[in-house]
Amino acid sequence: MLLEVEGLKKSFGSIVVADDLDLSIATGEAVGIIGPNGAGKTSMFNLIAGGLSPSAGSIRFDGHDLAGVPPQGRCRAGMARTHQIPQPFEKLTVFENLLVGAVYGRRRTEREATQSCGEILERLGLLRRANALAGSLTLLERKRLEMARALATAPKLLLLDEIAGGLTEGECAELVATIGDIRKSGIAILWIEHIVNALFAVIDRLVVLNFGRKIAEGLPKEVMQRPDVHQIYIGIEA
Ligand SMILES: Nc1ncnc2c1ncn2[C@@H]1O[C@H](COP(=O)(O)OP(=O)(O)OP(=O)(O)O)[C@@H](O)[C@H]1O
Ligand SMILES: [Mg+2]
């Protein structure tokens, strides 16, 4: 297994965001996560990526225990994430944003980084915006930049937090195609998304979270047919 989360627990006061969570992802696998607002989905990413510390449980990644490993160490080990609200370095150019990922997130030399960043920008359809300030990008471009910057760190696992949210249907379809390509290149994906159609075009397996608990897991279509999941999904759609 590439990622093995076991017995993860975390609360904020009386709000339980991780309630004995287990989750495994194999190398190259694509797993989707759905759940209502406040279910603890982003918190789970924060726990995995190291921004938050669990009160109990363990996370193993690529054979290593991540206890005490800071976010930058997890990134260098091959884990990269995007943020629900894009967080580019607004005053740097698109290209410079990627360089930060490649140089500091992967410890590449600037020369190696320059080449790989150019390739990633091309793959993500951002090459013609390479010299634009990140602060000037449209929402779709910002979402693409989140992914491009994550890819610049050469991850084995990419965590996507509602990357398709807020886009038009056409933009969403474009993004799904890009994510499909990333997946085909062998990078494992853990993708939180409310837009189930987009998610289902890419994932192998679906996990449903509610109140910090994993309430269902399995093949996407089978999971969605469960009455308790269906009930929650209607709430998500509304
Ligand atoms: N740092 C924090 N301090 C206190 N409460 C927090 C913190 N982070 C998250 N929470 C609370 O924990 C709960 C879960 O938040 P989280 O962001 O993980 O939900 P989510 O499933 O990602 O929701 P959404 O679909 O709205 O993005 C929410 O009630 C949120 O207000
Ligand atoms: Mg969230």
Q: Looking at the 3D structure of the chain, how many domains does it have?
A: 2
The verdict on the CB of residue 212 being under 6 Å from ligand 1 is: no
Rounded CA separation 73/35 (Å): 29
At 200-216, the pLDDT tens digits run 999 999 999 999 999 99
| Residue 56, domain extent | 1-78+157-238
User: According to DSSP H, which parts of the chain are helical?
Assistant: 41-49, 71-76, 94-104, 110-123, 139-151, 169-184, 196-200, 220-224, 227-237
Rounded CA separation 92/132 (Å): 8
- At 175, the pLDDT band (50, 70, 90 cuts) reads very high
Residues 146 and 163 reside in one and the same domain = no
Closest by CA to 189, choosing from 167, 209, 213, 207, is: 207
At 188-200, the pLDDT tens digits run 999 999 999 999 9
Residue after which a domain boundary falls, among 133, 154, 175? 154
Residue nearest atom 30 of ligand 1, based on CA coordinates: 38
At 45-74, the pLDDT tens digits run 999 999 999 999 999 999 999 999 999 999
- At 121, the pLDDT band (50, 70, 90 cuts) reads very high
**What pLDDT score does 108 carry?**
80
Looking at ligand 1, which atom is closest to the CA of residue 84? Answer: 27
Q: Which residues contact 167 (CB under 8 A, 6 or more apart)?
A: 139, 140, 143, 175
In a domain, 36, yes or no: yes
User: Does the pLDDT at position 235 exceed 80?
Assistant: no
Q: Taking the complete model, does pTM exceed 0.85, yes or no?
A: yes
Backbone angles phi, psi at 93, to 5 degrees: -75, 170
Rounded CA separation 114/96 (Å): 9
At 102-117, the pLDDT tens digits run 998 887 888 888 999 9
